[in-house]
Structure 1
Amino acid sequence: MPPIVSEEYKRQKKKEILNSALACFAKKGFQAATIDDIVAHSSISKGAIYNYFKSKEEIYLELMNEQTNETNELLTEKINSFQTATERLLYLFDLYISIDPFDPDRKETIVVHYEFRLHSSRDENLRLLLQERGNRFFIDFVTKIVEQGVKTGEFKKDINPIMVANLFWTIIDGATVQAVLYKEYPYQNILECMKGMVMDTLLETKS
């Protein structure tokens, strides 16, 4: 009989594969990195890797989902500690302003994520999968905050919450990409400026 493998063992083995994959993707780029690179980095056989994942794309998606789930749990808990939509949206802006996109480890991870997003644009199934995930984890998250602000009268009634959510992530993505490309890019200053412009657009003027 084959040995019985515990769920904890499987979880740990998957984590080893994911960590090695991220290191390989960061070093060589998503498209250039291979399963053989992950084998060499992790010392886990190719057959064992394929027991857990069918493809390099599946490894990346699992890696991304794990990171997103962990982040969203913590972020939701923090966001719920604020009472008003204004406080919640300002917190989100300030969270990204506080991030250092020039940190070498963070920069490598950012590059991996954007490389995969560009790669997915050539595969309709992957593109739709990322679009659905983006709506569920990111667009809906900000949309609910803006909807709350409109409902409570904090934000103007004619504001389109989905448009604001898309604008928010466009600002964050744009500033992040610029920071990755240009080391002198004034990342924090740009986001501070955009925060002020967005909030001025949203907030209902009190008479």
Structure 2
Amino acid sequence: MPPIVSEEYKEKKKEQILTSALACFAQKGFTAATIDDIVAHSGISKGSIYNYYKSKDDIYIDLLNTNTSHYMEQITEQFSKLHSAIDKITFLFDHYINVDPQDEQRLGYVSVFYEFIFHSTRDEDIHALVTKRKNHLLKLMKDIIEQGQQAGEVKKELDPELYAYKFWIMIDGVSIQSVFADSPYHNVLAMLKQTYLEEIKG
């Protein structure tokens, strides 16, 4: 009879695989990195990795979902302390302003994330999952804007969906540019924050 493996053990093993996979994707790029690279980095056998994941795409999707879940948990916790829509939008801007754009781990994740976004356009099923994540984040911002409109904080004539898109397009654009060492990341985000808030306030 094979040994009984606890759920805690499985989660730790998956976390080990995901950590190694992200390191390999960041070093070589998502397309160039292989399962063998992940095996070499993690010290976990290929057979064991395939017990948890069917493919490299499957590994990255779990990485994406895990990252999104952690992000939403952090945001939900902070939002519970904030009641104003403007305060929530300010917090989201500050969340990105306060990171180190040249942090090696962050740069690795950013480069792999956007590479995978474009990779997903070649696979209908994967693209559907990526789109679901995008829509989840859009809804987060749209709900905040609508809350602000109901409270009289945000101009009622604004299109909530359009301004939700605008917010995330700004974040994506600045994040992509941060891969360049000379990018004025913090100054640009601070400027965009001020402009956006001035534009939406009722």
Superposition TM-score, scaled by structure 2 size: 0.96
Deviations 1:138-186 (A, max 9, x none): 1111111101000111111111111111100100110111121x21111
Which residue identity is paired with 1:168?
F
- For 1:147 and 1:184, the matched residues in 2 are separated by 37
Unaligned runs of 5+ in 2: none
**What pairs up with 1:3-152 in 2 under 5 angstroms?**
3-136=3-136, 138-152=137-151
Q: Per-residue deviation at 1:89?
A: 0.6
The CA distance in 2 between the partners of 1:104 and 1:7, in whole Å, is: 31
Residue 193 of structure 1 corresponds to which residue in structure 2?
A: 191
User: Using the alignment, how far apart are the partners of 1:179 and 1:66 within structure 2?
Assistant: 23
CA distance in 2, matches of 1:11, 1:183: 36
Alpha-carbon shift at residue 100 of structure 1 (Å):
1.5
Moved over 4 A (4+): none
* Distance in 2 (alpha carbons) for counterparts of 1:179 and 1:63: 21
Amino acid at match of 2:71: T
Give distance in 2, aligned partners of 1:177 and 1:21: 21
RMSD of Structure 2 on Structure 1 (CA): 1.0
- Whole-angstrom distance in 1 between the partners of 2:84 and 2:129: 32
2:155 corresponds in structure 1 to 156
Distance 1:98 1:117 in 2: 24
SS of residue paired to 1:163: helix
Alpha-carbon shift at residue 43 of structure 1 (Å)? 1.3
CA–CA distance in structure 1, aligned partners of residues 105 and 13 of structure 2: 23
Name the SS for the 1:32 alignment partner: coil
Query: Size of the alignment, in residue pairs?
Result: 202
Give CA-to-partner distance per residue, 1:122-153, whole Å, 9 cap, x none.
222211210112112x1111111101000111
Q: C-alpha offsets along residues 49-72 of structure 1, whole Å, 9 cap, x if unaligned?
A: 111000101100111111211121
Q: Which residue of 2 aligns with 1:183?
A: 181
- Percent identical: 49
| Deviation (angstroms), 1:80 | 2.1
Structure 2 distance, partners of 1:163, 1:53, is 37
Amino acid across the alignment from 1:79:
F
